[in-house]
Amino acid sequence: MITSLLVANRGEIACRIFRTCRELGIRTVAVHSDADENALHARVADTAVRLPGAAPTETYLRGDLIVKAAVAAGAEAVHPGYGFLSENADFARAVIDAGLVWIGPPPEAIEAMASKTRAKQLMGIASLDRDRVTESDLPVLVKAAAGGGGRGMRIVRSLADLDGALEGARAEAASAFGDGEVFVEPYVEGGRHVEVQVLADTHGTVWALGTRDCSLQRRHQKVIEEAPAPGLSDELRDELHSLAVRAARAVGYAGAGTVEFLVSSAGSAHFLEMNTRLQVEHPVTEAVFGLDLVAEQIRVAEGHPLESDPPRARGHAIEARLYAEDPAADWAPQTGTLHRLTVPDDVRLDTGYGDGDGIGVHYDPMLAKVIAHAPTRAEAVRRLSGALERATIHGPVTNRDLLVRSLRHKEFTGAAMDTGFYDRHLADLTAPDPDPYAHPSPATALNGVAARPPLVALAAALADARTRVSRFGGYRNLPSQPQVKRYATAGEEHEVRYRHTRAGLEADGVRVVRATPGLVVLEVDGVQRKFEVTRYGDQVYVNATALTALPRFSDPTAQHAPGSLLAPMPGTVVKVADGLTEGSAVEAGQPLLWLEAMKMQHKITAPLTGTLTALHAVPGQQVEVAALLAVVEPS
């Protein structure tokens, strides 16, 4: 029996594994980089071991250091989680050679399937020769042979872009997985990403635990997943189960794994890969089958047999990945302090962050996974979208609104989605919402159509006013002058006015029913609306809306010249375009430099056609958000 276990990972998955270990009575050991010294996974473990450094190549990808940490901490077993070294056969062997129990499949099975090129060969599928791709082969997908999570992947629709895609994918794969091998395969337009969860023991039993649909993806990384995959025929589902079991048996698999397919619009299945680890989206399968897959992994590693048949599936489950990113700004990752994250009690929350934790630039921007389970798909969709809408998320910009809109989009509710969902709908899904509380104000209306500033800004101002009431009261004997406050939200600035009177706070066009530092109730046309207000310095959260309190007058020095390229996120400059120097002529849209942040590379392009008059970025440089990288002046 295993009594102590080290998780060779971080964040959400480490916390999730530790939760099961506590339920089983297993002592837990965490490893952490310097950047993660105060991370939640390091705090909740019974023991934590430091891995010096911050970059994954210095820390979570150093199998030798992790094995030493396990031995030093007295761990009996190692669980790799997902990502990092989870599909590294050499690491699995090193764990076993150190006398530790490996919570995963045999190294030989990992080796057979860890490289997507070798996995395809095992399944009798040939990759395209990247040196012989022709126009008739397009579009194609350049893909990292190791790892996953959408890193090291590029869609190529023009032969002229192939070399650049290969170079970019190699660099990203090497940084994320320590392996720069890439390959090329056909890209199926309009396909669905469907996968089968398998669980196998060391006694010859293999379970196919249903299907999952993971078609909603951004940058080839999954955003919303569900089980079972809707709309599959019985014949196709049986075929996918059979192929998945065949793949597991072909390599003598043991433990939890996933076999992934691309299902075309015509209903044909194309094998993609086998992930020899636990998947991020495993909770939806757990919910439907009533299993704890981590507990099952541990039992398999201890030698226990599975029952001859898996449990019966019940209901439908959907998972949404909550990311610290701005989908409207090319999915730019966000950093800062996560002040608060809560969801309603009727859904499951898996997270690696606690209130007050910092979100840095070194790792994936996923904050949490929110999972809903219900008797039917429609009920699960409603439960999850409602829970996300009511969630309290105070911190950096997230994709919460995108998730809610995606779940309620007619293509998703009608189970008609495919992997091109965001290519088609991202602009509409990220368009600013009309203010739900906006209402024409008689005092400010122009020809009866102009609307007052958002009520959320007014609520923020009224709550702030209640925090500043003096001991002599909130009004004077003489009529007071209107008080003015300015707030920025969603890229716009709003000015609001209110007055202190003998009757209390007043504002034009609304009735102030109640105003406290944490709650404001406003009545418009007989309808009362509640606004919960929370402040963190100059950041104000009113219900789900984030605002920034501004000085009354703007700072004229806080401006940049036209053509300035500002860092859209904190990160590291990994490359400057070949031959680019001050004085170079550039074209609008031309790639000038690349930033790496949160394990992804982000291309910075020229904002206009002209001359590069300043270049401040150099490879290896760490930059903060809004740092001036370069200036392009029109010709």
Q: Hey, which residues are catalytic here?
A: 277
Q: What is the DSSP string of 453-489?
A: SPHHHHHHHHHHHHHS-BTTBS--SSPPPPEEEEEEE
Report the alpha-carbon distance of residue 319 to residue 195 in Å, rounded.
15
Q: Classify 541 as helix, strand or coil.
A: strand
Q: 211-223 b/e with 16+ CB inside 10 Å = b?
A: bbbbbbbbebbbb
In what order do the strands lie in the sheet containing 622-623? 600-605, 591-597, 571-576, 622-623
Cis amide prior to 228 (ω within 30 degrees)? yes
Name which of 619, 615, 591, 618 is nearest 604 in CA terms. Answer: 591
- Torsion sign across C-alpha atoms 111, 112, 114, 118: positive
Q: How many CB atoms lie within 10 A of CB 527?
A: 9
Cβ atoms of 159 and 384 closer than 8 Å: no
Kindly state the helix (H) or strand (E) to which residue 536 belongs, with its residue range: strand 527-536
- Token digits of residue 2: 């295993």
Q: Environment class of residue 167 by beta-carbon count within 10 Å: exposed (0-12), middle (13-18) or buried (19+)?
A: middle
Look at phi and psi of residue 608 and say left if phi exceeds 0, alpha if psi is from -120 to 50, else beta. beta
Name the one residue in this structure whose structure tokens are 């950041």. Answer: 539
Name which of 180, 222, 268, 158 is nearest 422 in CA terms. Answer: 222
Name the one residue in this structure whose structure tokens are 């008689």. Answer: 442
